[in-house]
């Protein structure tokens, strides 16, 4: 579960990565969003393009006779050159990773590009928007409960070839079902009572335990607050999820709209220019185990009882999560070594010895 921020849409970027990876790997995808219209062809990022020409898949090793001569380290000219893993992987898969025999675990995407329409048309994608959810929930069986309606629909999808309790048919290939739910629990979601979302997550977790399916959802946590304090139901919702990640941006961190506009008008500090917000990991998946989710060897622990903070930045082509560190004091534009013509630098120092050129008394 991704806890959404107040004034930004960074959680939608992570959900788009999830959907694009499903199409790239050839998985079946089910997109649910009751807040806005879903158009995957214009919302999902495309695969990262390679600037250099792709080598032949059979030519894994090239000699110096067929390549450009080296201008640095000339003694290595006669040695064979081995292609990198990334180039070999892309040359093996070609333009469409879903058609390859060996599917990469994690594809690289470019946020400046849009996914190819043909890839969306050929993929197994089902979209449930607000109109379809309301139509399905209007049945007398549900009485307008969108949570129960969606749960039954997901149970039917899992029962149709994604259940681990049923053996695979002879000759059939096992596939993965990816479920994306955007802004679960917002004002557009209608339930039978105030505990509908808790019942939905509890039953959904039981379905996913015995299936080849995974669900990624975003939760508008700012709607479940009272004067800046989270309601107790938020903690119960986090307990029903296997992994919980919160995105806290600098633009919408419990600030008034006037403060956000004033902050954007300024040039900004070095931290705000380098990062866009913090990443808080509230819970990590730890199935069938009694040990803690993080040990001493985790990168989040720096030793001495302290922990490293994580921050994210949204660049033009990618969304990256890095270890947060304080910027250089004074910024990168401040001069730390005084100039030669600086009067402070020309001032003589005070010493304990005698002054040169002067006779001691």
From first to last of the 361 residues of the chain, give the pLDDT tens digit: 999 988 788 999 999 999 999 999 999 999 999 988 889 999 999 988 654 344 443 433 344 344 455 555 555 566 655 444 454 444 444 444 444 456 566 788 999 999 999 999 999 999 999 889 999 999 888 988 999 999 999 999 999 989 998 888 788 888 999 999 999 999 899 988 889 999 999 999 999 999 999 999 999 998 998 887 889 999 999 999 999 999 988 876 655 555 545 555 554 455 556 788 889 988 888 877 776 665 544 556 555 545 668 889 998 899 998 888 776 666 556 555 665 665 655 555 555 555 555 665 5
Q: Would you state the pLDDT for residue 355?
A: 58
232-239 vs 196-209: helix axis angle to the nearest 10? 10
146-159 vs 196-209: helix axis angle to the nearest 10? 10
Q: Would you state the pLDDT for residue 60?
A: 39
Q: β-strands 61-62, 244-249: how paired?
A: unpaired
Burial class (CB in 10 A: 0-12, 13-18, 19+), 146: buried
CA distance 154 to 132: 14
Q: Would you state the pLDDT for residue 96?
A: 47
CA distance 310 to 116: 33
| 3-state per-residue secondary structure call for 135-182 | HHHCCCCCCCCHHHHHHHHHHHHHHCCCECCCCCCCCCCCCCEEEEEE
Scanning the chain, the segments in alpha helix (DSSP H) are 10-25, 40-43, 85-93, 117-122, 130-137, 146-159, 196-209, 232-239, 257-265, 270-274, 343-346
Q: Would you state the pLDDT for residue 106?
A: 79
Name the pTM for this structure: 0.73
Backbone angles phi, psi at 262, to 5 degrees: -65, -35
Locate tokens 């402070």: which residue? 344
Q: Which of 332, 352, 214, 209 has its CA nearest to residue 269?
A: 332
146-159 vs 130-137: helix axis angle to the nearest 10? 100
Q: Would you state the pLDDT for residue 229?
A: 87
Q: Would you state the pLDDT for residue 52?
A: 39
Q: Would you state the pLDDT for residue 338?
A: 62
CA distance 201 to 59: 50
Q: Would you state the pLDDT for residue 53?
A: 40
């Amino acid at each position: 579960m991704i806890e959404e921020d107040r004034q930004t849409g960074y959680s939608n970027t992570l959900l788009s990565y999830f959907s694009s990876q499903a199409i790239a790997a050839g998985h079946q995808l089910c997109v649910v969003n009751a807040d806005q219209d879903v158009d995957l062809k214009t919302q999902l990022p495309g695969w990262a393009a390679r600037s250099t020409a792709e080598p032949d898949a059979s030519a894994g090793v090239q000699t110096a006779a067929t390549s450009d001569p080296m201008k640095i380290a000339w003694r290595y000219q006669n040695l064979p050159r081995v292609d990198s893993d990334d180039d070999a992987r892309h040359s093996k898969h070609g333009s469409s990773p879903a058609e390859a025999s060996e599917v990469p675990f994690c594809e690289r995407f470019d946020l400046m590009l849009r996914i190819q329409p043909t890839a969306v048309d050929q993929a197994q994608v089902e979209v449930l928007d607000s109109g379809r959810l309301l139509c399905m929930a209007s049945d007398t069986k549900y009485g307008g409960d969108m949570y129960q309606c969606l749960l039954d629909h997901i149970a039917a999808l899992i029962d149709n070839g994604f259940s681990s309790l049923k053996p695979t048919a002879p000759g059939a290939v096992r596939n993965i079902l990816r479920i994306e739910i955007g802004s679960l629990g917002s004002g557009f979601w209608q339930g039978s009572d105030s505990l509908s979302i808790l019942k939905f997550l509890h039953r959904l977790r039981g379905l996913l335990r015995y299936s080849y399916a995974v669900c990624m959802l975003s939760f508008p946590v700012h709607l479940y607050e009272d004067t800046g304090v989270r309601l107790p139901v938020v903690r119960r919702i986090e307990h029903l999820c296997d992994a919980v990640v919160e995105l806290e941006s600098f633009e919408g961190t419990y600030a008034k709209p006037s403060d956000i506009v004033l902050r954007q008008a300024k040039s900004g500090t070095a931290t705000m220019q380098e990062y866009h917000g913090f990443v808080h990991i509230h819970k990590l998946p730890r199935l069938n185990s009694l040990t803690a989710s993080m040990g001493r060897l985790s990168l989040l622990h720096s030793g001495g009882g302290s922990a490293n903070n994580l921050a994210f930045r949204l660049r033009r082509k990618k969304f990256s999560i890095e270890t947060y560190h304080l910027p250089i004091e004074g910024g990168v534009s401040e001069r730390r070594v005084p100039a030669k013509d600086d009067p402070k630098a020309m001032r003589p120092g005070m010493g304990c010895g005698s002054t040169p050129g002067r006779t001691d008394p």
